[in-house]
Amino acid sequence: TTETVGINWFLEPVPQEGGSGSGSIIDTRGYVLTNNHVIDKAYKVFINLADGSQYEGTLVGTDPENDIAVLKFTPPKGMQLKTVPFGDSSNLKVGQKVLAIGNPFALERTLTRGIVSGLGRPIQTSNQNIIKDMIQTDASINPGNSGGPLLDSQGRMIGINTMIYSPSGGSVGIGFAIPVNTAKRVVAELIQYGKVRRGWIDATLVQLFPALVNYAKLPVSSGLLVSRTKRNGLAEQAGIRQGTEPVRYGADVIYLGGDIITKVDGVKINRLADLYSALEDNKGGDKVPVEINRSGKTITLEVTLADRDSILSSE
């Protein structure tokens, strides 16, 4: 459960009850895995265990792009926490039996069962991020289940129940879970760094739009135009060319004539969100194939990625 801060009639901050969700203890030191949207904007987080005890938790780190968060609480001395073991989501099969545990509508520790209905679903979240390779299940998932584990028949976590497709707000048999292999990679980063380190192309990129395509007579209608590259940066060293002709668009200046990025690491790039998705599992220092369009010709370059936070914070 969470506690948020509201503003009263006198413009004073006052605590108020937040929402509730589910989570899994993944480490005997008190680390808890849940969804980011469960604890987003929370002022306080309380963790309720199966024995009825409640502890105040602290936020270790979040990854909004995968809707994952890690919390931590300190168990009393002598208490041995039981953890949910990680399974493997890479070898799941459609039709495989699964179990979902959570707190739908605040009904604690509810168990539902179903099957894996589909695999590899790219699903867009409410904040416009695309989570790749989600597991579709018909196990009943409702509000309050978010953050809880999706288990295989042997009790191993194979996913994190995250969202449902429903015109009514209740379960209609179409639920989605983040694969546990994504969670394992993200959790390790969150516990060690408090965030997920990711790679980025060290260049100023502009998403193509019809007015720009028509004005510049570009050979493609979708992709990312390389406006500027960092001098002697990794993208420039890889052979990516920046624009040379400055034009003003609103308050911004776009340099035309540069390469147009159309594919990164095998993922087709139509918009900036596609680049975030393509590089979600890459870190700075990784090398990825980048397909560009240069004056109508398709060229593939190998680009070493820079650290994303340092690049975007400097723009």
Strand partners of residue 48: 54
- Cα within 13 Å of Cα(175), Cβ side: 33
Catalytic residue among 140, 146, 171, 277: 146
User: Is-contact 162 178, C-beta < 8 A?
Assistant: yes
Task: For residue 71, give both structure tokens.
Answer: 């919390």
Percent helix, strand, coil in the chain (nearest 5)? 15, 40, 45
Task: For residue 223, give both structure tokens.
Answer: 């992709």
- Cα within 13 Å of Cα(194), Cβ side: 3
Number of neighbouring beta carbons within 10 Å of residue 219: 14
Three-state DSSP state, 128? coil
Is 37 known to be catalytic? Answer: yes
Catalytic residue among 20, 22, 24, 37: 37
- Cα within 13 Å of Cα(173), Cβ side: 3
Spatial distance between the Cα atoms of 211 and 77, rounded to a whole number of angstroms: 65
Q: Which residue has the tokens 């005997």?
A: 28
Q: How many residues does the chain have?
A: 315
Is 67 known to be catalytic? Answer: yes
Is 146 known to be catalytic? Answer: yes
Catalytic residue among 67, 138, 202, 274: 67
Hey, what amino acid is at 101? Answer: I
Of 104, 123, 120, the C-alpha closest to 112 is: 104
Hey, what amino acid is at 48? Answer: N
Catalytic residues: 37, 67, 146
